[in-house]
Amino acid sequence: MRPTVIGAYEAKTAMNPLTLYYAPGACSLAAHIVLEEVGARFELSRVDLSANQQHSAEYLRVNPKARVPALADGDWVLTEAPAILRYVAARHPAVGLWPWDPQEEARCAEWLNWLSSTIHVAFVRVRRAARFATEPRAVDDVAATAKKACRELWGAVDAKLGSGPWALGERYSVADPYLLVYWTWGRGPALAFDMARDFPHWTAHARRLSARPAIKRAFASEGLTLPS
C-alpha cells in the first residue's frame, strides 16, 4: 500500500508549476516524459550543453553540479534523474508510475540505480573520454575500452528486459522512460549500435514506448526521432 499523503500537500503541489532544466536527448528526457505522463503543469528551460551553459553563473545557482536534469518546484530544486522520477511520480500517485508494493518498489529502484550508476557511467567514458585521460592515445583507448563495456552492458539490459512488456513485467513505471534514454544513446553516433539486430528485446520495448502519447509529445518537443 502507498503511504498516506497529506491532502493539503497534494493540493498545494498541484498548484505549483514545475520547471525542468533539460538538454535535448540527455537523461533529462526521462523526467520530461514522466512529467508528460502524469499531466503535470510544468515549464521547460533548455540548457545548451554545446555552449557550456551548464557552467554559467545563472545555471550554477540552480544546480551547482553543472548537470541536467534539475527540477525546480518553486524555490526548491531537486537534481539527479532517479530522484526526480520518483518525486514526480509521488506527486501524482493516482497515475501509478511509482510502485508502492515493497518488492516492486525495490525492483524499480534497482533499475534506476543500475542505469544511473553503471550504464550511464560506462557511456560517459565513451562520450567524454577526455575526462579520464590526457594523452590522445590514452583518450582513444579509454573510449574504445568503454565502448566494449557498453556493448556487454547493453546486452545485459536486453536480457533482463526479456519479453517485458515493461521493466517491471506487466506494470509500466518510471523505469521504462529512463530505459528509453539509454536505448536512444545506443543508436546514437557515440556507440552506433544496431539496436534492432543486437538488442531485440530492448528495441521492442522502445517501440512499445513510442506508441505512448506522452513519449510522442516529449520527443517532438526535444526534436528527437522516435524508435522505429
- Please report, for the domain that includes residue 112, its CATH number: 1.20.1050.10
Whether residue 225 lies inside any domain: the answer is no
CATH code assigned at 71: 3.40.30.10
Q: Is there a contact between 111 and 178 (Cβ–Cβ < 8 Å)? A: yes
Q: Is there a contact between 22 and 63 (Cβ–Cβ < 8 Å)? A: no
Parent domain of 113: 102-212
Q: Residues 59, 154: one domain? A: no
Q: Residues 79, 107: one domain? A: no
Q: Residues 49, 121: one domain? A: no
Whether residue 2 lies inside any domain: the answer is no
Q: How far apart are CA 207 and CA 98, in angstroms?
A: 22
Query: Please, what is the Cα angle at 69 between 196 and 5, to 5 degrees?
Result: 105
Q: Residues 106, 188: one domain? A: yes
Q: Residues 41, 84: one domain? A: yes
Q: Residues 190, 148: one domain? A: yes
Whether residue 222 lies inside any domain: the answer is no
Give the pLDDT of residue 15.
Answer: 58
pTM for the structure as a whole? 0.92
Q: Residues 35, 117: one domain? A: no
Give the pLDDT of residue 3.
Answer: 46
Q: Residues 84, 12: one domain? A: yes
Total domain count, the chain: 2
Q: Residues 175, 114: one domain? A: yes
Per-residue pLDDT reduced to its tens digit, 5-60: 434 444 455 557 899 999 999 999 999 999 999 999 999 999 999 999 999 999 99
- Residues of the chain with confidence (pLDDT) below 50: 1-11
Amino acid at 117: S
Neighbours of 113 (CB within 10 A): 11
Q: Residues 21, 44: one domain? A: yes
Whether residue 226 lies inside any domain: the answer is no
Q: How far apart are CA 226 and CA 211, in angstroms?
A: 9
Give the pLDDT of residue 6.
Answer: 34
Whether residue 217 lies inside any domain: the answer is no
Q: Residues 40, 131: one domain? A: no
